[in-house]
Amino acid sequence: MNNKDIIKTLQEEVEIPHIVQKKADAAFAAIHREAENSKSVGPVVRLPADRRMGDDRGQRGSRRKPGTHRHPGRKIWIAAAVAALAVGTITAVADYMKRSKSLTEGMQVTEQQQVQMQEKHLSAIVNRSCTDKGITVTAVDSITDNYYTHIAFRVEGYKVDVGTQPDFGTIKVTVDGKDGYDEASPEDSFNYTAGFYNGFIMGEDGKIIQADGFPVQTDEAGNLIENYTMDDGTMEYQITLSNTQKRGFFINKPVHVELSGLGTVAKAAYETDIDGTWTFDLTLSGSPELKECSLNTPLGNTGASVVKAEISPISLGVEYEFPRQLEPGTAVDENGQEKETTFYAEPPWLMGVRMKNGTMYPYIYLGPGSMGYESEESSRYRTMFAIDRVLDVDQVESLLFAKPAGECGTTPEEMFYMVPVG
Range among 10-24, 288-302, 320-334, 408-422 with highest mean pLDDT value: 288-302
Highest mean pLDDT among 76-90, 207-221, 242-256: 242-256
Q: Is the pLDDT of residue 220 over 50?
A: yes
Q: Give the pLDDT of residue 140.
A: 96
Q: Looking at residues 354-365, what average pLDDT do you find?
A: 93
Residue that wins the pLDDT comparison between 135 and 213: 135
Beta bridge partners of 209: 201
**Rounded to whole angstroms, how far apart are CA atoms 323 and 303?**
7
Query: In whole angstroms, what is the distance from residue 233 CA to residue 227 CA?
Result: 11
d(CA 90, CA 410): 49
Q: For 329-352, what is the mean pLDDT?
A: 90
Give the Cα separation of 240 and 230 in Å (integer). 21
Q: Whole-structure pTM over 0.85, yes or no?
A: no
Q: CA 159, CA 162: separation in Å to the nearest integer?
A: 10
- C-alpha count within 13 angstroms, C-beta hemisphere, residue 275: 0
pLDDT, one tens digit per residue, over 127-138 is 999 999 999 999
- Residue 21, pLDDT > 50, answer no
In this predicted structure, which of 160-169, 197-206, 247-256 has the lowest mean pLDDT? 197-206
Given a cut of 60, whether residue 46 has pLDDT beyond it is no
**Average pLDDT of 249-278?**
92
Reference 211, options 139, 125, 110, 126; nearest CA is: 110
Task: Decide which of 358 and 222 is more confident.
Answer: 358
**Over 60: is that where the pLDDT of 290 sits?**
yes
The DSSP result for 247-299, as a single string, is TTSSTT-EEEEEEEEEEEEETTEEEEEEEEEEEEEEE-------EEEEEEEE-
In three-state secondary structure terms, 43 is: strand
- The listed range with the strongest mean pLDDT (43-57, 217-231, 389-403) is 389-403
pLDDT at 281 over 60: yes
pLDDT > 90 fraction of the chain, expressed in percent and rounded: 53
Q: Hey, how many other C-beta atoms are within 10 angstroms of the C-beta on 185?
A: 10
CB 239 within 8 A of CB 173: yes
205 burial (CB, 10 Å; 0-12 / 13-18 / 19+) is exposed
Q: Residue 267 has what pLDDT?
A: 67
Q: What is residue 94's predicted lDDT score, i.e. its pLDDT? A: 44
- Kindly report, residue by residue over 108-127, the tens digit of the pLDDT: 998 889 899 989 999 999 99
Q: What is the mean pLDDT of the chain?
A: 79
CB 277 within 8 A of CB 188: no
CA 363 to chain centre: 13
**Confidence at residue 117, expressed as pLDDT on a 0 to 100 scale:** 92
Mean pLDDT, residues 3-14: 33
- With 60 as the cut, is the pLDDT of residue 8 above it? no
- What pLDDT is recorded for position 178? 87
